[in-house]
């Protein structure tokens, strides 16, 4: 009997999926790879790469063709994120947030007019960002204090947001604010805020440990005027939009961590065949082989967990537990793999001349954003409670 949390065997990709995966891998290797070190050092994604991501069609993977998108699946978006992350997790998260958070939220909750106004641009030139977190509301997401006031023919938003991915590149922000703090989560409401709206500005860009090219910014709203037609969903339903979107988004982060771990391991496999000690490549030593084998095994397990969660989501099946497990485990695997890779590179692994140290810095965020590991464990624990 098929387990409710599993679909039939998912190891094989279809021909179309493999072709797409190969195309993104080629783009990542040829176009992203030569710029990784410079972008990390300058803490900035090359704007030309953002343009190429749109041209390749990977910024609107699930957007229907009537809006200029690829009209593909959530699973395909995860494949793109995985392949990009193998080369640079920073460019991967730009594509991930665009697809698994922003476009997904609009596809599910936007009005026909909002879809017509924004989705064609999101498929071709408009970067999105997802603005939920604040200084006092991280894991406790719904204790946010950003206020939304109904002024009759428009809304006015006041308050800062922190840790917003794509802050510098984005032109459209999904902003969560409360219409009344006394209502708790029932006051949370979502808005579509354009970068050019009066009273809105992007503030400080964070100087981070890893994924340094990815912009993580403060947003400042001071009497920010939002047209009435830019309400996303219904008043007081923002919590539902946030929860359901993040449930999907964490699968994308799992894919990012799978790609990161594979990219680090691929570099290490190459290095250990070239590094000679005691007269032979270190890859010939059983102690090294066992470490590489352990990393490869864990990476494959994490990949299958991510693929399964993405397939379940596309099939309209329950996937929240599987998504939490996939993100939790993939982030753990990425951290262990990146650490092992630094060890096997030895002294070179501690220098910026080689890629090992960057993968090590980049992996840590996987346990933090889009739900910390402790929050994933809490979700899993609730969903495995015995039925009595």
| pTM of this structure | 0.95
CATH number, domain 240-383, options 3.30.70.980, 2.40.50.140, 1.10.8.100, 1.20.140.10: 1.20.140.10
Phi, psi of 190 (to 5 degrees): -105, 145
Alpha-carbon dihedral angle through residues 33, 35, 36, 40, given to the nearest 10 degrees: -170
User: Mind spelling out the 3-state secondary structure of 318-381?
Assistant: CCHHHHHHHHHHHHHHHHHHHHHHHHHHHHHHHCCCCCHHHHHHHHHHHHCCCCCHHHHHHHHH
DSSP conformation letters of 51-97: HHHHHHTTTSSSS-GGGTS----HHHHHHHHHHHHHH-HHHHHHHHI
Name the residue among 166, 13, 176, 193 with its Cα closest to residue 92.
166
pLDDT in 10s for each residue of the chain, 388 residues: 344 555 544 457 999 999 999 999 999 999 999 999 999 999 999 999 999 999 999 999 999 999 999 999 999 999 999 999 999 999 999 999 999 999 999 999 999 999 999 999 999 999 999 999 999 888 887 789 999 999 999 999 999 999 999 999 999 999 999 999 999 999 999 999 999 999 999 999 999 999 999 999 999 999 999 999 999 999 999 999 999 999 999 999 999 999 999 999 999 999 999 999 999 999 999 999 999 999 999 999 999 999 999 999 999 999 999 999 999 999 999 999 999 999 999 999 999 999 999 999 999 999 999 999 999 999 999 999 776 6
Interior/surface letters 244-266, b for 16+ CB within 10 angstroms, e for the rest: ebbbbbbbbbbbbbbbbbbbbbe
CB atoms within 10 A of CB 270: 11
Of 248, 335, 357, 370, which is the active-site residue?
A: 370
CA–CA separation, 374 and 252 (whole Å): 18
The confidence score (pLDDT) of residue 137 equals 87
Outline which parts of the chain fall under CATH 1.20.140.10.
Answer: 240-383
CATH architecture of the domain covering 129-236: Beta Barrel (2.40)
370 counts as catalytic: yes
| Collapsed DSSP state (helix, strand, coil) of residue 156 | strand
Outline which parts of the chain fall under CATH 2.40.110.10.
Answer: 129-236
For 15-126, CATH gives 1.10.540.10
């Amino acid at each position: 009997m098929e387990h409710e949390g599993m679909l039939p065997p998912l190891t094989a990709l279809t021909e179309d999926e493999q072709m797409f995966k190969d195309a993104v891998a080629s783009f990542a290797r040829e176009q992203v790879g030569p710029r990784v070190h410079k972008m990390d050092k300058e803490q900035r994604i090359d704007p030309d790469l953002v343009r190429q991501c749109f041209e390749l069609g990977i910024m609107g993977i699930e957007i229907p063709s009537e809006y200029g998108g690829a009209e593909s699946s959530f699973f395909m978006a995860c494949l793109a994120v995985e392949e990009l992350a193998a080369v640079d997790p920073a460019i991967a998260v730009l594509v991930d947030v665009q697809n698994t958070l922003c476009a997904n939220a609009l596809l599910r909750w936007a009005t026909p007019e909002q879809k017509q106004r924004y989705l064609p641009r999101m498929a071709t030139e408009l970067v999105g960002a997802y603005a939920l977190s604040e200084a006092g509301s991280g894991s406790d997401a719904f204790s946010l204090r950003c206020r939304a006031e109904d002024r009759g023919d428009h809304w006015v938003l006041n308050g800062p947001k922190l840790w917003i991915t794509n802050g510098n590149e984005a032109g459209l922000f999904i902003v969560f604010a409360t219409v009344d703090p006394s209502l708790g989560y029932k006051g949370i409401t979502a808005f579509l805020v354009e970068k050019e709206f009066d009273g809105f500005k992007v503030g400080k860009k964070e100087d981070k440990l890893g994924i340094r090219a990815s912009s993580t910014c403060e947003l400042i709203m001071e009497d920010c005027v939002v047209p009435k037609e830019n309400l996303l969903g219904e008043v007081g339903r923002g919590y539902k939009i946030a929860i359901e979107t993040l449930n999907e988004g964490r699968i994308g982060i799992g894919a990012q961590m799978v790609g990161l771990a594979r990219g680090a391991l691929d570099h290490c496999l190459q290095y250990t065949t070239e590094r000679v000690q005691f007269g032979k490549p270190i890859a010939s030593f059983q102690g090294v082989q066992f470490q590489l084998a352990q990393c490869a095994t864990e990476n494959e397990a994490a990949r299958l967990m991510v693929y399964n969660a993405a397939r379940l989501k596309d099939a309209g099946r329950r996937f929240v537990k599987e998504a939490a497990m996939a993100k939790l485990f993939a982030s753990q695997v990425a951290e262990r793999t990146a650490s092992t890779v630094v060890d096997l590179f030895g002294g070179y692994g501690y220098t910026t001349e080689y890629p090992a140290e960057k993968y090590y810095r980049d992996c840590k965020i996987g346990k933090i954003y889009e739900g910390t590991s402790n929050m994933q464990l809490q979700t899993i624990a609730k969903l495995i409670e015995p039925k009595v």
